[in-house]
Structures are given as C-alpha cells and as structure tokens.
Amino acid sequence: MATKVHMEALSPTMEEGQLVQWLKAEGDDIANGDILAEIETDKATMELVARGEGVLRKIFLTAGGTAEVGSVIGVIAGADEDISGIAGVSGGGVTAAPTAPPEAPAEGAPMPAAQTLPAPEAPAVSASATSAPATTAAATLPASAANEGRVKASPLARRLAEEMGVDIARVPGSGPGGRVVKRDVEAAKASGVAAPVDTPATWASDGAEYEDIPTSQMRKAIAKRLVTSIGPVPTFYLTVDVDMGRVIEARKSINAMLEKDGMRVSINDILLKAIAAALRQHLNCNAQWHDGFVRRFSAVHLGVAVAIEDGLITPVIKNAHAKGIAQISAEVRELAGRAREKKLMPDEYTGSTFTVSNLGMLGIHEFTAIINPPESGILAVGGIVETPVVVDGEVTVRPRMRITMSCDHRVVDGAQGARFLQTLQGMLEEPTAILL
C-alpha cells in the first residue's frame, strides 16, 4: 500500500518548509522510521521520518524547494505498485526566494467625510439681564455654565429634550457636575426658557414645507379675544417720541437708594408708575365701552403684557397709581415669573383697566398694539434708541423712546388721547412730575 510523504508540521507554528536535502534517493528501500530528508522550518532544521515501508518511488519536491505543510512531496510504495494516481507538489530546485507577499487589499475605502453637525446657534437674543424688562420673551438664563461646549445630560434627559423640542444646551443642569436631568428638562419646557425659538432649525431632512401645530387653549383665547377688538372697535393711533434721559438718571439714583435692600428697578417699572400717574389725570382713558354706557375707573389697574411660551398673558398690577416704584417693580417681577410657569390665578390676570406692552428689548422702535377689550386704550412701548435730534438748533444725540397709543374712538377722542400722552411725556421727561 502506498504511503504519501507529506511536508509535515515539524514545529507548532510552521506553515511551510524548505527541503534542504533528501537523505534517500528515488529507488531506495525504505523502512518505517527511516530518516528521509532534512527540512528547514521556521525554527530549525528538522528530520522528516518515513511513515511507511517500501521503495521511495517518487520525489516531487527536490532540494531547495519549498512546500506548504500538508502537501505531498514524495511517495513510498511497493516496487511494482501503480502510483500514477498520486499527485504531488511540483517545483523545487528553485531558490528559497519566497513568493511576494500578497498585496494588502487595495480597496481601502476613503475616510468617510467627517459628518458636519449643524453648528449650535448662538441665542439671537442678548443675554444681558440688567436692562431686561420683565415682559421680554425668552429671557435667557445663562447657558449651562462651564460646559466647555459639551453638555452633560442623562440619556433620558436627552431623549426628553429632543421629544419636547427643548434645546438641551440651554437647560441649566441640577445634577452632579451640572448634569442636566429629567426634572431640568421638564422645568425648562414649562418656562419656555430653552425653547429654540430663534434658532433656525436645520432643514428637516425629509424636506417638509410646513408643519401644522395644533392650537393651544391660549392661542384660541387670544384669537377669540382680539378678533373682537380690532374688528368691531374703531381704533386710532397716536405716537409720541420721548426723551428718556431724565428717566435714566432717575433710575440710577433710585437704584442707589434701593441697593441696601438688594432691590433694583427697571426703566419699565418707572414707566409703569408714570403711566399710572398720568392716567389718574386722564381718567377718560381709563374707561370701558359698554352697551349703553362708558365705565370710567378711578383706580388704575395696569395690565402688563408678558410673553410666555406659546403666547401672551397680562398679569395685573392692582392700584398701580397708589404703589411706589419699588413695589411695582417687585410685583411685576413676581407676577411675570409665575406667569411663565403658568401659575397665575385668574384674578391676577383679569381686571385691568389699561394695558402696557413693551417690545423695546426685542429691538422694536415702534409698533401698534391691539387693545385688550373691554379696555379702551393700550400703550405700545418701543426701545430706547440713541437718536440724533435737534436741540436749541443743534444736532445732538439723545436717548429717545417711542410710545404709540391705540384708542377706542367710542370712548377716547383724539384730543383726549393726545393730552394723556402729553402728560405722560412730561412725566417721563421730568420725572419729578410723577410726584404731583
């Protein structure tokens, strides 16, 4: 029976061996255990031992040749045995030059283009808190402090923020190390702080052209209410341009006085006081149209428009005419805060006799507001703008502010409205007049 002579694994790591020399020749008698050849392995030169007996009939791999472990390099068989069916490795006699190592696969894909994430938008609204009237929308708290650009948030918070449409980068975190957690996201949602209103959204990847947002109760209420205003109410508008230099000075000295109490008042607080005082002198603007009569109020309950998430609400400073600026300031702050948390009681946002709306902090110079029925007037206050004006024949730069009054002509005539505005302007340009 024929015995194939194989290139054997003569070391555990050997994969191929080189035949150094045959110690037997074709035609030699072979006994089981005879040394047939010397093989050079990856480690040393080893002896290849015969595993059968007979005659070394065929040598396939000659001296110097290299073959892989397992390949047939010779045949031992009976002298007359037919071995034509046995195939062996060919070659040999070549030098030990190894075949060139296989090429590293050349299909190395190019590095995928770095995905660019949309750059986080800087909040469009200035974050200066000093002169921010309480009525500005989206008053920004400082973005989650000291984050070095990376937001620490729990996985749940991230998911909720995404679901709720809250910009997690602007949510202050109450967890360890400033981690934003679920309760922080929920709070941010409620107060509208981190509503990404001003951040232009990246294009929705599915390219939708519009989005239908279901109307909330608040929006329905505003719509219903104001449709009944500008529609049926015959409205006209009066604008004055006020020099705010004295108010600015007055504010400084008032705040100096209040410093020891840890309080500050804003321009708007002073403005509200002035409006209340002026209305006391023009109660015909502090009135309501009713079927068959006009109700004229002697007390001034000022509605202060506050923008909140998804809408607008007007908490009321009751008896504003009788309250000092500091008290008005505190009340406005407190009511506005709770307004944003949607925690006002109904009697806190109803019962105003006149309303003030200030969009100065959003960069508006001048606008017209819609009367809050059943009131008969509303003031739209713009921002203080350094403006070149002519004073005593010379051009100078003054801080100027525009106030536009909308009047219900059924209650207030043009002259009446104008006189009220004159009084108000006088008070603002000379604040001591408020004391009268």
Partner 1 sequence: MAETKTKKKRGKKGDVLDRYGVSPELALDLLRNMLLYRRFEEKAEEAYAIGRIGGFCHVHIGQEGACAGSIKPLREDDYVVTAYRDHTQAIAKGVHPNAVMAELFGRVGGASGGRGGSMHVYDKSVRFMGGHGIVGGQVPLATGIAWKIRYAEEDTVAIVYMGDAAVNQGSFHESLNMAAVWELPVIYVVENNEYGMGTAFSRVSKTDMSTKPVPHGVPASVVDGQDVLATYAHFRELIAEVRGGGGPRFVDLQTYRFRGHSMSDPVSGTYRPTEEVERRKAEDDPIAVLRDKLLAAGHLDQAGLQEMDDEARQIAQDAADFAEASPVPDPSTLYEHVWAEINEHGRLFFDGRDR
Partner 2 sequence: MAVMTYREALNEALREEIQHDPDVFLMGEEVAEYDGAYKVSKGLLEEFGDKRVVDSPISELGFTGLCVGASMAGLRPVVEFMTFNFAFLAIDQVINNATKMYYMSNGQFPMPIVFRGPTGAALQLSAQHSQACETYYSHAPGCKVVTPATPADAKGLLKAAIRDNDPVAFMEGELLYNVKGEVPEDDDYVIPLGVADLKNEGSDVSIITHGKMVHVALQAASKLDKDNISADVLDLRTIRPLDMDAILETVKKTNRVVYLEEGWPYAGTGAQIVAMIQEEAFDYLDAPILRVTQADVPMPYAKSLEILAKPSADRVVEACRNVLYR
Among 26, 32, 159, 389, binds partner 2 (CB under 8 A): 159
Note whether 8 binds partner 1 by CB under 8 A.
yes
Q: Residue 12 corresponds to which tokens in the numbers above? A: 């555990």
DSSP secondary-structure letter at 371?
P
C-alpha–C-alpha distance, residues 306 and 310, integer Å? 11
- Interacting span for partner 2 (CB under 8 A) from 51-59, 153-161, 305-313, 390-398: 153-161
Instruction: Locate 251 and state its tokens.
Output: 């504010």
CA distances from 81 to 3, 46, 71, 301, 355 (A): 11, 30, 21, 123, 119
Q: Pick from 26, 55, 70, 120: which binds partner 1 (CB under 8 A)?
A: 70
Q: Which helix (H) or strand (E) holds 206?
A: none
Cα dihedral value 416, 418, 420, 425, nearest 10: -170
Residue pair 361/133 in contact (Cβ under 8 Å)? The answer is yes
Q: Please report whether residue 157 would count as binding partner 2 according to CB under 8 A.
A: yes
Question: CB under 8 A: which stretch of 3-11, 91-99, 298-306, 380-388 binds partner 1?
Answer: 3-11
Which of partner 2, partner 1, none does residue 1 bind (CB under 5 to 8 Å by kind)?
A: partner 1
Helices (H), 165-266: 182-191, 217-230, 245-258
Residue 86 found at the interface with partner 1 (CB under 8 A): no
Tokens of residue 305, six digits: 């428009």
CB of 32 vs partner 1, minimal distance in Å: 9
Catalytic-labelled residue, pool 6, 290, 321, 409: 409
Are residues 85 and 69 in contact, defined by beta-carbon separation less than 8 angstroms?
A: no
What distance in Å separates the CA atoms of residue 93 and residue 60, rounded to the nearest whole number?
Answer: 11
Residue 159 or 343: the one with the smaller Cβ distance to partner 2 is 159
Binding track over 164-193 against partner 2, x by CB under 8 A: ----------xxx----xxx----------
Instruction: Reply yes or no on whether 290 is catalytic.
Output: no
12: partner contacted, choices partner 2, partner 1, none (Cβ within 5-8 A by kind) = partner 1
- Could you say which of partner 2, partner 1, none residue 7 binds, taking C-beta under 5 to 8 angstroms by partner kind? partner 1
Q: Which of residues 38-57 bind partner 1 (CB under 8 A)?
A: 51
Half-sphere exposure of 175 (CA within 13 A, CB side): 15
Q: In the complex, which residues of this chain contact partner 1 (CB under 8 A)?
A: 1, 6-10, 12, 51, 69-70
Q: In the complex, which residues of this chain contact partner 2 (CB under 8 A)?
A: 154-159, 174-176, 181-183
